[in-house]
Amino acid sequence: MSEINKNQKEFWSGKGGDIWVNQQEAMDSMLSPLGKAALDKLNLDQKENILDIGCGCGQTTLEIAEMIPEGKITGLDISVPMLERAKDTAMKKNLPNVSFECKDVQTDDLGNSTFTKCFSRFGVMFFEDPVRAFKNINSSLVDGGSLSFVCWQAPSLNPWQSLSVRAVKKYLDLPSPEPRSPGPFAFAESEYINSILQESNFEEIEIESHEAEVKMFPGRDLLDSAKDYLSINPVIENMIKDSEEDQRNKIINSVVEAFSPFYTPKGLRFPSATWLVTASK
């Protein structure tokens, strides 16, 4: 295994991937509208050849496959369990124009001038060497091909993250990630995104701020929603499991208190802030 992104590969093919498979319905419910906003930027036609980067359990890949019956789409990810779920779902849907591959966008061959469009829903923030990854993406596009992705802005603008971390930190010494290090908020700064794309030979770069409500754990009560949220972060989950029962309960109650203003009879509803990023080759 290449040393580049080794930790990410181990994480997403281990417990991180298993958790996302188990929580696929909840995560897709939360992320789908945000992914659609980025997908709408691509203006797809029927005969596209598309690369879906960080496709996870395959929801976006399969949806796009149905949109381009005369075209084809390849979903890429480094998570073995998530790709297994994606392939299983694709088989059940009997879609002939979709395939999935386990590849690292930084180091593996994506082909030269292969794809007409590249897309990603929250799948491009985990690269140890983002310029290398995006240069590879650029090379995989045909001349005039385009890229569209959505990524998170700062945690402070996404209270589902910032409030929960603050609540947990009352009782646990959580590690603080370095700015721009691989993770969900690596691309929080639009200037950083722009510099990466410029260095990767992309043109016509546009970065648009997008604010929207996100829905989490529909149909779950507040207590179960808090528990489910804590379970989707393997680092926090492991630390909670290692705590005494009294401390575990305090952590859960602290998150319940933090999430309470955002709870509705239909589940949690949070404001969110993302970047919709487009560029061309």
| Residue range 40-58, pLDDT digits in tens | 999 999 999 999 999 999 9
User: Distance (Å, rounded) from C-alpha 208 to C-alpha 105?
Assistant: 24
- Indicate the average pLDDT of the chain: 93
Beta-carbon contacts of residue 191 (< 8 Å; ≥ 6 apart)? none
Provide the pLDDT for residue 1. 38
Residue type, 159: P
Residue-wise pLDDT for 258-276, tens only, equals 999 999 999 999 999 999 9
**Is the pLDDT score of 80 beyond 60?**
yes
Q: pLDDT-based confidence at 220, cuts 50/70/90?
A: very high
List, in order of start, the domains of the chain with CATH numbers: 6-154+179-215+272-280 (3.40.50.150)
Residue-wise pLDDT for 5-44, tens only, equals 677 777 777 777 788 888 899 899 999 999 999 999 999 9
User: Distance (Å, rounded) from C-alpha 271 to C-alpha 33?
Assistant: 13
**pTM beyond cutoff 0.85:** yes
pLDDT (mean) for 232-260: 88
